[in-house]
Amino acid sequence: MPKASRFSVVLTLALTLCAHADEGMWVYNNLPLKQLQAKYGFTPSPQWIERLMKASVRFNNGGSGSFISANGLVLTNHHVAADALEKLSTPEHNLYEEGFLARTPADEKPTKDLELNQLISIEDVTSRVNAAVKPEMSVAEAIAARRAAIAAIEKEGTEATGLRCDVVTLYQGGQYHLYRYKKYTDVRLVFAPEFAAAFFGGDPDNFEFPRYDLDMCIFRVYENGKPVQVDNFFKWSAAGPAEGELIFVSGHPGRTSRMFTAEALKHLRDFQVPYTLGLLRRREIMLQQYSMKSEENARRAKEELFGVQNSRKVYLGQMSSLQEGKIITAKQRADYQLRAKVAADPKLQELAGAWDRVAQAQARAKELAVRRALLEAGQAFNTPLFTIARHLVRMAYEDRKPDSERLAEYRAARRASLLLQLYSDAPIYGDLEKAKLTDSLSFLVEVFGAGDGLVNAVLRGKGPDARAAALVDGTDLADPRVRQLIAAGGVAEIESSEDPMIRLARLVDDPARAIRKQFEEGIEEPERQAYGQISKALFAVYGTSVYPDATFTLRLAYGQVKGYSEGSGPIAPMTTLGGAFEHEKAHGGKDPWKLPESWRRAKDKLKLETPYNFVSTADIIGGNSGSPVVNAKGELVGLIFDGNIHSLTANFHYTDEKSRAVSVHSAGMLEALRAVYGADALVRELTEGALAGGDACPGKLAGK
């Protein structure tokens, strides 16, 4: 980062989460209306806001999307859909690689375990949650009391409305809001381009710009066997946005650390990020080794490998910005300024110790975090077969407790979502799981030591590879029917089960629960309380017009379509379809710069000057993938799919100097659907906003 920008960074961080430039991932019940009016002269109507909120959907497996027709079409990224596409793929029909187009509704392919959430309403429940926690309570009591209060709120909400109800912790513990979602689980695949078009340029171009990617995928949501009818969806803008135009991004940014204190950022730099990078590197190498053995292996591991590579790039970017130092220096100054104001205000004295308490929690975290990651987060047992076993074991024991005392993921309000995953018949490949489990068991031995009692109990005298083979070969949990049978048997079934993966999950359960408890009481709860106080200080000093850190809940960001400058010169904000062919040529047409055959064939039919990808200043982060980009009229003008390399600091702070969100342009998507894929019926539905002739009968969808 050049020195010229230093002041703006400092200023941004000094005010922590007060908006500057186009900064902010705003909650829908506290939108930056003043800033929008002041900078862009735009004030959205309540109807505009409600439509944006309800036309946005969350992909529960980690991405965003939006309704784009009255008949339930949902747009997201190919890479958000990757997990679903991979689960629908076989060696013979590799949809993930080769793409898919349903020409008739009967062809629309039900996905295995996708859950979409549509936000219906938000309610601030902070005072009710906080009231449950009394000052005289011990840490353990405070956690239990808060958990019970949250569980009660969620359960009441679900019972009252039938909606999925999640209490979300905002401002790292400063506020609690109840989010009510309508849930969709009958989600069918309508269109996916080839991997080579969606991820053109592959890992080398990932987080770069200019880009030429058709990173899109279209599903249709069904209810009761029919396409769902929705009132709120985005009309497709055939023209898309112009340079400089105001745009909005409505999506689900996953997690940011902008409210973190300087000490918490140092903990990330010195411990959490290096640890995570080490883990990602070993998984990347392991998956590469597995993949290179055959093309079928490569197919099986491709989506997981891509995910690991993507994360590795994100964390390397974070590491680079943290080690560079300016972000932490600026945050130290911001902490200092806020603490000085707290110290000067007699009413805020009770908040003064919060920063030190965060620092103390970080120091303790080093001892506990790795053990927690291995045992409780399951990094020592890196296979869905273990995750399934863990859920079966815990569900049995948790279900014997009152709902309010259960671990959060086993509460009644979340059961349907859990079972959707647990009983999914997505394929599980034994050889891939052996490779993953071998590597992760080996990691366990490295970290805990070969003489450790738990390690010995896990390995049972075998090496990691032999033990992984015995576990994967011995378990019956790859079969969803077996999972249902075991779940039906409750604790008795669990305790008598001879399935080796169930037995492993039982073996690990007590130590895993113990470290989880220790971490919650020793780290998370003190942090939550401390950040609650820091939030109070922030609100007291800077007012309430601040946005909370990202929590994978719906947020609104805004900005402009705008280029930027690299050392090499100015970067134009848009690319064209024709640019994809030029980019291919510049790289000799070698993988991953090889456009699919369909594009080569369609080249003469394509309007090559059509805009394809574009950048904007909207404030996004991972989880925003698949978010609709809409204009002031509320029309869909683009589809978020990436950030440029400079945006990798977005976890810690926003800057509009070079950091950019990268989207597919609505005009480019439409032109590709038309000229490359001949998806005429789909194009008609998108441009008309509903199935042909306004008729909701899916029989007419494909037009032939």
Binding site for a second copy (CB under 8 A): 202-204, 266, 269-270, 274, 277-278, 281-282, 284-285, 292-293, 295, 312, 319-321, 323-325, 442, 445-446, 449-450, 461-466, 588, 590
Q: Least Å distance between CB 456 and a second copy?
A: 10
* Closer Cβ to a second copy, 320 or 565, answer by number: 320
Sign of the C-alpha dihedral, residues 399, 403, 405, 408?
positive
Q: How far is the CB of 82 from a second copy (least distance, A)?
A: 20
Q: Which is nearer to a second copy, 100 or 199 (CB)?
A: 199
Distance of CA 76 to the CA centre of its chain: 13
CA 59 to chain CA centroid, Å, is: 8
Give one DSSP letter per residue of 311-327, joined into a string: HHHHHHHHHHHHHH-HH
464 vs 596, which CB is nearer to a second copy? Answer: 464
User: What is the rounded (10 degree) CA torsion for 691, 697, 699, 703?
Assistant: -30
Nearest residue (CB) to a second copy, 270 versus 657: 270
Q: Is the Cβ of residue 29 or residue 320 nearer to a second copy in the bound state?
A: 320
126 or 321: whose CB is closer to a second copy?
321
Q: How far is the CB of 515 from a second copy (least distance, A)?
A: 21
Residue among 226 and 266 whose Cβ is closer to a second copy: 266
CA angle 53, 54, 55 (to 5 degrees): 95
Q: Are strands 635-643 and 661-665 parallel, antiparallel or unpaired?
A: antiparallel
Residue 676: name the closest of 188, 214, 76 by CA. Answer: 214
Question: Looking at beta carbons only, is 480 or 592 nearer to a second copy?
Answer: 592
* Nearest distance in Å: CB 1, a second copy: 9
DSSP code of residue 100: E
- The Cα–Cα gap between 266 and 509 comes to 32
620 φ, ψ to 5°? -130, 170
CA–CA separation, 217 vs 234, rounded Å?
A: 16
CA–CA dist 112, 101 (Å, integer): 18
Long-range contacts of 494-499 (CB under 8 A, 24+ apart): 494/392, 494/393, 494/396, 494/397, 499/389, 499/474, 499/475
Tokens in use for 485? 């049978």
Query: Which residue's structure tokens are 């008598």?
Result: 496
Shortest separation between residue 356's beta carbon and a second copy, angstroms = 18
Q: How far is the CB of 282 from a second copy (least distance, A)?
A: 6
Beta carbon of residue 358, minimum distance to a second copy (angstroms, whole number): 18
Single-letter code of the amino acid located at 201: G
Q: How many whole angstroms separate alpha carbon 492 and alpha carbon 696?
A: 49
In 525-626, DSSP assigns E strands to: 555-560, 564-566, 569-571, 574-576, 611-616
Q: Is cis: bond before 427, omega within 30 of 0?
A: no
Instruction: Kindly tell me which of 188 and 267 has the beta carbon lying closer to a second copy.
Output: 267
Least distance from a second copy to the Cβ atom of residue 316, Å: 9
Q: Provide the minimum distance between the beta carbon of 270 and a second copy in the complex, in angstroms, as a whole number.
A: 6
Question: Residue 310 Cβ, how far from a second copy at the closest point, in Å?
Answer: 13
Min dist. Cβ of residue 610 to a second copy (A):
28
Instruction: Please state the closest distance from residue 309 (CB atom) to a second copy, in A.
Output: 9
Q: Please state the closest distance from residue 311 (CB atom) to a second copy, in A.
A: 12
The amino acid present at 232, given as its one-letter code, is N
Q: Among all chains, which residue has been given the structure tokens 């200043």?
A: 617
The residue to which tokens 């000490």 are assigned: 263
Q: Decide whether 465 or 521 has the Cβ nearer to a second copy.
A: 465
* Residue nearer to a second copy on the CB measure, 325 or 694: 325
How distant, in Å, are the alpha carbons of 291, 387, 388, 439, 458 from that of 466?
Answer: 20, 20, 21, 11, 12
CB nearer to a second copy: pick between 283 and 555: 283
Q: Of 401 and 585, which has the nearer Cβ to a second copy?
A: 585
Structure-token match 């702070």, residue found: 653
Q: What are phi and psi of 484, to 5 degrees?
A: -65, -40
Q: Which amino acid does the sequence have at 56?
A: S
* Alpha helices, DSSP H, located in 325-414: 326-344, 354-371, 384-398
